[in-house]
Amino acid sequence: MKTKVVKISADDKAEKYEEAVLYLKTDNVVGIPTETVYGLAGNAFSELAVKRIFEAKGRPQDNPLIVHISEFSEIYDLVSEVPSVAEMLAKEFWPGPLTMILPKSEKIPFCVTAGLDSVAVRCPSHPVARKLIKNCGLPLAAPSANISGKPSPTKAIHVFKDLDGKIPLIIDGGESEEGVESTVISLCTPVPKLLRPGNVTLTELQRVLGNVLVDDAVLNPLKEGEKVSSPGMKYKHYSPDAQVVILKGSYSDFCSYVNERKTENTYAMVFDDEGDGLNVEFFSYGKKNDYRSLSNKLFDILRELDEKGAKQCFVRCPDDNSDDLAVLNRLLRAAAFRVIDLGDGV
- Footprint of ligand AMP on residues 143-172 (CB under 6 A)? 143-144
- Footprint of ligand AMP on residues 256-295 (CB under 6 A)? none
Sort residue 302 into left (φ over 0), alpha (ψ -120 to 50) or beta. alpha
First-residue to last-residue Cα distance in the chain: 52
- Which of 315, 320, 333, 268 lies closest to 291, judged by CA? 320
**Least separation, in Å, of the C-beta of 91 and ligand AMP?**
22
The kind and range of the H/E element at 42 are strand 39-43
Asked if 218 touches ligand AMP (CB under 6 A), the answer is no
Could you tell which of ligand AMP, Mg ion, none binds residue 184, using a CB distance below 5 to 8 A set by kind? ligand AMP
Q: Which stretch binds ligand AMP (CB under 6 A): 23-31, 73-81, 230-238, 295-303?
A: 230-238
**Least separation, in Å, of the C-beta of 70 and ligand AMP?**
18
The kind and range of the H/E element at 328 are helix 325-334
**Least separation, in Å, of the C-beta of 54 and ligand AMP?**
11
- Footprint of ligand AMP on residues 15-44 (CB under 6 A)? none
Q: Which residue is nearest to Mg ion (CB)?
A: 144
Fill in the DSSP letter of residue 174: -
Asked if 64 touches ligand AMP (CB under 6 A), the answer is yes
Contacts 24+ apart (CB under 8 A), 51-59: 51/111, 52/27, 52/28, 53/29, 53/141, 53/142, 53/143, 54/111, 55/166, 56/29, 56/163, 56/166, 56/167, 57/143, 57/145, 57/146, 57/147, 57/148, 57/163, 58/147, 58/148, 59/143, 59/148
User: From the CB of residue 192, how many other CB atoms can be counted at a distance below 10 Å?
Assistant: 24
Could you tell which of ligand AMP, Mg ion, none binds residue 63, using a CB distance below 5 to 8 A set by kind? ligand AMP
Pick between residue 116 and residue 214 the one whose CB is nearest to ligand AMP: 116
**Least separation, in Å, of the C-beta of 144 and Mg ion?**
3
Q: Which stretch binds ligand AMP (CB under 6 A): 118-126, 161-169, 288-296, 314-322?
A: 118-126
Could you tell which of Mg ion, ligand AMP, none binds residue 198, using a CB distance below 5 to 8 A set by kind? none
Amino acid at 178: E
Could you tell which of Mg ion, ligand AMP, none binds residue 103, using a CB distance below 5 to 8 A set by kind? none
Neighbouring residues of 196: CB distance < 8 A, sequence distance ≥ 6: 99, 181, 182, 183, 184, 218, 230, 232, 233, 329
Q: What distance in Å separates the CA atoms of residue 311 and residue 132, rounded to the nearest whole number?
A: 40
Q: Which stretch binds ligand AMP (CB under 6 A): 10-18, 169-177, 228-236, 325-333?
A: 228-236
- Which of 222, 278, 223 lies closest to 247, judged by CA? 278
Asked if 116 touches ligand AMP (CB under 6 A), the answer is yes
Asked if 184 touches ligand AMP (CB under 6 A), the answer is yes
According to CB under 5 A, which one of 118, 144, 201, 239 is a site residue for Mg ion? Answer: 144
Asked if 118 touches ligand AMP (CB under 6 A), the answer is yes
Do 68 and 124 contact (CB within 8 A), yes or no?
Answer: yes
Collapsed DSSP state (helix, strand, coil) of residue 49: helix
* Residues in binding contact with ligand AMP, number by CB under 6 A: 19
Pick between residue 197 and residue 240 the one whose CB is nearest to ligand AMP: 197
According to CB under 6 A, which one of 16, 25, 51, 63 is a site residue for ligand AMP? Answer: 63
- Which of 314, 295, 118 lies closest to 199, judged by CA? 295
Q: Which residues pair with 282 in a beta bridge?
A: 268
Applying CB under 6 A, the residues found at the interface with ligand AMP are 63-64, 66, 101, 113, 116, 118-120, 143-144, 181, 184, 195-196, 230-233
Residues near Mg ion, by CB under 5 A: 144
